Amino acid sequence: MVATFAYETPGTVQEAIAALGRHGDDAKILAGGQSLIPLLNLGLAQPSVLIDITTIGDLEFIEERDGTVAIGAMTRYVMVQRSELARRACPLLAEALPFIGDRQIRNRGTIGGSLAHADPVAEVPTVAACLGATMRITGQAGARDVPASEFFVTYLTTAIGPGELLTEVRFPVAAPRTGVSFQELVRRQGDFAIVAAAATVTLGEAGECRDVQLALAGVDATPIRVDRATDVLRNQQPTAERIRDAARAACDGIDPESDIMASAEYRRAMAEVFARRALEQAAHRASVGA
């Protein structure tokens, strides 16, 4: 089956929003295309109009702003990987990006495209959930900011409404004495993850955990931030025993589904293993860098 559709190339955000308003649910946004094109090829997406936003240069940027790293939705993965600012101020994102697909995908795929696609095991959404990132959504009525906890609604579904466009994401700047880790279980490099864990650990002057953030992917319809691990480690020394307890607490109550990749029981067990590994590595890096 050959997909047929109209094709528009707006030059500005407002032109893109106007095009979305004209075409409604019949339109799809084309950013990096690394998620949409396979869906088109498989016949799983059949839009009547593609709105190509790759020509909107205003959506490509990486800048430090008010204690955050603001990244435009059309910023490609490779641009973030090469950014000294991103590596310094948002090391967890920089750590996660090399896990994405292969070099060709990282050269074409975009930060905004990954967030808007909202695959529950994708790396960028998992980092956004872990860090409590804020997404800016722009429509005809103006812009609104939505935290990651509300942005990811369910599988492949976000808070982006009809006629709206994701324009930027803001990640909080990492505090001093912070270590990060991104871990994922895959069958082969570049495959979709079976489970993944993203963690940050910030240590105080005495080596105690001042702040801990942990997110898991592959165990729910969206990446989930699990603050139970924070409760176990806060103001405590990150010993091996406490980290094991934190990983166990983080996975209490999770209810993953079985699929062709793994059973629910296997996902649950591996989520605890990878949560522990991520917390251990983040704590170690925090102590070494302190």
* Residues 151 and 94 placed together within one structural domain of the fold: yes
CATH of the domain at 114: 3.30.465.10
- Which residue among 172, 194, 213 closes a domain? 172
Q: Is the pTM of this model over 0.75?
A: yes
**At 96, which helix (H) or strand (E)?**
helix 91-96
- Which residue among 120, 141, 172 closes a domain? 172
* Residues 68 and 31 placed together within one structural domain of the fold: no
CATH of the domain at 45: 3.30.43.10
CB 114 within 8 A of CB 96: no
252 found inside a domain: yes
* Residues 219 and 118 placed together within one structural domain of the fold: no
70 found inside a domain: yes
Among 211, 119, 117, which Cα is nearest to 173's? 211
- Which residue among 172, 190, 207 closes a domain? 172
Among 175, 173, 168, which Cα is nearest to 151's? 168
3-state SS, residue 112: helix
* Residues 33 and 98 placed together within one structural domain of the fold: no
* Residues 101 and 157 placed together within one structural domain of the fold: yes
pLDDT attached to residue 2: 63
User: CA-CA distance, 110 to 165, in Å (whole number)?
Assistant: 14
* Residues 257 and 284 placed together within one structural domain of the fold: yes
67 found inside a domain: yes
Q: In what order do the strands lie in the sheet with 134-139?
A: 62-65, 68-72, 165-172, 134-139, 142-147
- Domain residue limits at 25: 6-52
Residue 26, Cβ neighbours under 10 Å: how many?
A: 12
What angle is formed at CA 135 by the lines to CA 23 and CA 174, rounded to 5 degrees? 160
* Residues 62 and 152 placed together within one structural domain of the fold: yes
Q: Tens-of-pLDDT digits for all 290 residues of the chain?
A: 566 889 999 999 999 999 999 998 889 999 988 888 888 887 878 899 999 999 999 999 999 999 999 999 999 999 999 999 999 999 999 999 999 999 999 999 999 999 999 999 999 999 999 999 999 999 999 999 999 999 999 999 999 999 999 999 999 999 999 999 999 999 988 889 999 999 999 999 999 999 999 999 999 999 999 999 989 999 999 999 999 999 999 999 999 999 999 999 999 999 999 999 999 999 999 999 85
| Residues with Cβ within 8 Å of residue 160, at least 6 apart in sequence | 116, 137, 166
Number of structural domains in the chain? 3
User: CA-CA distance, 149 to 165, in Å (whole number)?
Assistant: 18
* Residues 129 and 185 placed together within one structural domain of the fold: no
61 found inside a domain: yes
71 found inside a domain: yes
HEC string of 11-48 equals CCHHHHHHHHHHHHHHEEEECCCCCHHHHHHHCCCCCC
* Residues 146 and 203 placed together within one structural domain of the fold: no
CA separation, residue 120 to residues 64, 184, 200 (Å): 27, 13, 20
* Residues 25 and 95 placed together within one structural domain of the fold: no
User: CA-CA distance, 100 to 159, in Å (whole number)?
Assistant: 24
The residues facing 52 across adjacent strands are 30
1 found inside a domain: no
* Residues 193 and 282 placed together within one structural domain of the fold: yes
* Residues 147 and 213 placed together within one structural domain of the fold: no
CATH of the domain at 243: 3.30.390.50
pLDDT attached to residue 205: 94
